Amino acid sequence: MDDPLLILRRYWKYNHFRPLQREVIHAVMDGNDVLAILPTGGGKSLCYQIPAIMKNGVCVVITPLIALMKDQVESLQRRGLMAQAIHSGMGNRAIENALTNAFHENCKFLYVSPERLQGNAFQNRLREMNICLLAVDEAHCISQWGHDFRPAYLKIGSLRELLPGVPIIAVTATATAQVRKDIVTSLRFGKNQQVFQHTFARENLSLVVRQTENKAAKMLEALQRVPGPAIVYVRSRQSTTELATWLNKHGITANAYHAGMPHDQRLKNQESWIQNKTRVMVATNAFGMGIDKPDVRLVIHTDLPENPESYYQEAGRAGRDGLHAYALLLFNPPDGQLLQARVLQNHPELSFIRQVYQALGNYCQLAIGSGEGECFDFNLQLFSERFGMAPQAVYGALKKLEEEGLVIFSESFYSPSQIRLLAEHEELYAFQVANARYDPFIKMLLRLYGGQLYSGYVRISEPYLARALKVSENNITTMLHQLHKLGIMEYLPLKDSPQIIFTLPRQHAEHLPLNIQRMQQRTELALQQVQAIINYASEKNTCRMNLIQQYFGETPLQTCGICDICIEKKKKQQASNVSGMREQILKIIGSKAMPPEELENKIRPADPELFAEVLREMIDEGLLHYDNHWKLNKRDS
């Protein structure tokens, strides 16, 4: 098929492209190097997936997020498109098998973590493949002035020498002018480069800041006033469960989500929210990436995010369906000082970073010069207690070690149990004859999975196999480990815990290859970003959407008209209308208590945003209040 729209309809069941998608796809098909800056939920992945389907060859996708990589691979496979993933948590044998499958089985997409790009074995395989496109996801990671800098991204440009003539598409949701420049330069874009940037303005999203000491009450009021699915972002894991419990007690269904939860529980809570069985997801910033739920009506932040980039991405998860939605930031002036202190803690002294690295090597029992590419279960709390360090300080040091390319710290890592047969058919048959106690188990595996066991890794469930064979789960696990030791099969047990991955062999702690100047600049940048988000929250006069646009280097053409600042200006301009609206509200509520949406239906205001602001103001003044059934009542005089 040579029509992008036909591919969109066939594989994704969509009838229309989102803004700029078609233009980006055509630019890629023309063989140009392309940078596409599209908003959260703007369909960035389709901008390289559709051209790859139309081209002859393999599309190599470079992305830093292991969980998102796995989700995309599984999504493509469900659509009947061959995809493989190679990431930092895989062993050498698993990588070799994935590369073999990609080479021999007409693979269309090969997802790779940036740390895996530079190995000789991997690059040799790339030379053998017919690569049609290089796609760089989360491209802002290439710039030290971006909010998620990854030094391994700086080496992507060297692939141009390995793959001359292969075009590159880089995609991201957020990029300042400096970050855009760094992306184009580092990836060595050609003369025919094209940059596509969707406006950062969201015409359907009302940005609101409320300065308050009682954040819980304001959050509850917002959830009551704005119906529909919602996300509440909080700072700590403990707060997710406490606040979800509190909301349920107040009649609003809520679940918690954070990276420390077991994978099954995270998945269960996520599905409940996506299917609208639960209205509110109370989460840390671990939630939201790769989740496609267009009907979110409200996103609330109870704490200041660390930078405008994070806030824009998280707030932008509201209203992806194009209908009116709200992003509410709850702010108390002391929050700024707390955030500055927290950010400084996340940028520790050089001596402490070395101390943590030394302890990490001891914790993982690695000798100097060993451990490259190895993956270890990691318990932050246990590690901190064992070495007498504060967990938050350790977390900051680990993130610095990750920024410098020494380790990868994966807070949420899930990999199901997998097996693949190593013994050939005749060897396997001979083994079954000589080892009768394994025969029923091997026969069951062959019956369940057949030839898949020889072509690649197959996901298994030990509890399911135990039920099928009518033995204990422990017996199944024991047999799998024994068959692994005997070389009959490879068994990769389930992993569902944070992981530390050494991207380089263990170094001597006093001689770590750290870019000290860059680290100092990154600390200064982080403090500048904190000040930028404090300024955003403290602003009283400038349209909030304009503030966002200006931060990302875009010149606003008009104010949004729907943020809290724009509404406040409307109130002053329409003082007489506001006065009449207040009298009308008091008259209607005086005769009968009612929910705010019923009141709005009765009044039918010409400007719903202005009505909502007037209503909030009257509640703040004590003229109105909510009863236990969340109906508005007139306050008794």
pLDDT tens digits along 34-88: 999 998 777 899 999 999 999 999 999 999 887 788 888 888 988 999 998 888 6
Three-state secondary-structure class, residue 196: strand
User: Does residue 595 have a pLDDT over 90?
Assistant: no
Cα of first residue to Cα of last residue in the chain, in angstroms, is: 72
What is the Cα 125 distance to its own chain's centre? Answer: 30
Looking at the fold, whether 184 and 299 belong to one and the same domain comes out as no
Looking at the fold, whether 184 and 48 belong to one and the same domain comes out as yes
> Can you give the pLDDT at residue 21?
95
What is the Cα 21 distance to its own chain's centre? Answer: 21
> Can you give the pLDDT at residue 549?
96
Strand order in the sheet with 375-377: 375-377, 499-502, 407-410
Range in 10-19, 352-361, 551-560, 612-621 the model is least confident about? 612-621
Structure tokens at 255: 């679940």
- More confident site: 148 or 368: 368
- Domain interval for residue 623: 574-634
> Can you give the pLDDT at residue 158?
92
> Can you give the pLDDT at residue 103?
77
Looking at the fold, whether 390 and 360 belong to one and the same domain comes out as yes
Average pLDDT in the 372-388 region?
Answer: 91
Looking at the fold, whether 189 and 80 belong to one and the same domain comes out as yes
* All residues at 6 or more sequence positions from 70 whose CB lies less than 8 Å from its CB, including other chains: 85
Q: Does 532 reside within a domain?
A: no
CATH code: domain of residue 585 = 1.10.10
Looking at the fold, whether 48 and 166 belong to one and the same domain comes out as yes
Q: Does 562 reside within a domain?
A: no
User: Does residue 637 have a pLDDT over 60?
Assistant: no
Looking at the fold, whether 472 and 593 belong to one and the same domain comes out as no
What is the per-residue pLDDT across 406-421, written as a single tens digit (0 to 9) for each? 998 887 767 788 898 9
Distance CA 381, CA 392 (A): 10
Structure tokens at 392: 């938050």
Q: Does 560 reside within a domain?
A: no
Determine how many CB atoms are found less than 10 A away from the CB of residue 354.
19
Q: Mean of the per-residue pLDDT values for the chain?
A: 91
Distance CA 580, CA 101 (A): 71
Q: What is the DSSP letter of 10?
A: I
Looking at the fold, whether 394 and 485 belong to one and the same domain comes out as no
> Can you give the pLDDT at residue 438?
93
CATH code: domain of residue 187 = 3.40.50.300
> Can you give the pLDDT at residue 89?
67
Residue with tokens 């099969």: 489
Distance CA 92, CA 388 (A): 34
pLDDT > 90: percent of the chain: 63
Q: Does 533 reside within a domain?
A: no
Angle between helix 608-620 and helix 564-573 axes, rounded to 10 deg: 90
Structure tokens at 457: 């890794």
Last residue of a domain, one of 176, 197, 218: 197
Instruction: Answer left, alpha or beta for residue 165, where phi above 0 means left and psi between -120 and 50 means alpha.
Output: left
CATH code: domain of residue 356 = 1.10.10.10
Greatest Cα pair distance in the chain: 94
Distance CA 439, CA 550 (A): 68
Strands 205-211 and 194-197: unpaired
Looking at the fold, whether 477 and 410 belong to one and the same domain comes out as no
pTM confidence score: 0.83
Distance CA 207, CA 545 (A): 7
Element (H, E) at 415: strand 414-415
> Can you give the pLDDT at residue 122?
83
Determine how many CB atoms are found less than 10 A away from the CB of residue 25.
25
Q: Does 561 reside within a domain?
A: no
Distance CA 341, CA 304 (A): 13
Average pLDDT in the 220-232 region?
Answer: 93
Average pLDDT in the 597-608 region?
Answer: 88
What is the per-residue pLDDT across 79-132, written as a single tens digit (0 to 9) for each? 999 998 888 667 777 788 788 877 776 789 999 989 888 778 788 888 888 999
Looking at the fold, whether 305 and 357 belong to one and the same domain comes out as no
> Can you give the pLDDT at residue 168?
97
When pLDDT is cut at 50, 70 and 90, the band that residue 452 belongs to is confident
Q: Does 79 reside within a domain?
A: yes
Angle between helix 596-603 and helix 608-620 axes, rounded to 10 deg: 130
> Can you give the pLDDT at residue 105?
67
> Can you give the pLDDT at residue 1?
61
Which among 51, 8, 14, 4 is positioned nearest to 171, based on CA atoms?
51
Angle at 126 between CA 116 and CA 53, to 5 degrees: 100
User: Does residue 5 have a pLDDT over 90?
Assistant: yes
Tell whether the torsion through CA atoms of 277, 281, 285 and 286 is positive or negative: negative
Q: What is the DSSP letter of 594?
A: B
Three-state secondary-structure class, residue 65: coil
Determine how many CB atoms are found less than 10 A away from the CB of residue 587.
10
What is the per-residue pLDDT across 533-542, written as a single tens digit (0 to 9) for each? 999 999 999 9
Average pLDDT in the 180-208 region?
Answer: 94
What is the per-residue pLDDT across 144-188, written as a single tens digit (0 to 9) for each? 998 889 889 999 999 999 999 999 999 999 999 999 999 999 999
Q: How many domains does the chain have?
A: 5
Residues 149-165 as b/e (b if ≥16 CB within 10 A, e otherwise) read bbbbbbebbebbeebee
Last residue of a domain, one of 162, 197, 232: 197
Structure tokens at 111: 């997802």
Q: Are 31 and 192 in contact (CB under 8 A)?
A: yes
> Can you give the pLDDT at residue 561?
93
User: Does residue 458 have a pLDDT over 70?
Assistant: yes
Q: Does 531 reside within a domain?
A: no
Looking at the fold, whether 359 and 302 belong to one and the same domain comes out as no
Distance CA 575, CA 568 (A): 10
Angle between helix 575-591 and helix 608-620 axes, rounded to 10 deg: 70
Q: Does 347 reside within a domain?
A: yes
Looking at the fold, whether 142 and 277 belong to one and the same domain comes out as no
What is the Cα 234 distance to its own chain's centre? Answer: 15
Average pLDDT in the 269-298 region?
Answer: 92
532-537 contacts: CB < 8 A, separation 24 or more?
Answer: 532/307, 532/308, 533/304, 533/305, 533/306, 533/307, 533/308, 533/311, 533/339, 534/304, 534/336, 534/339, 536/209, 536/308, 536/311, 537/209, 537/211, 537/304, 537/329, 537/331, 537/335, 537/336
Residue with tokens 């318990």: 379
Structure tokens at 148: 């998620």
Looking at the fold, whether 372 and 520 belong to one and the same domain comes out as yes
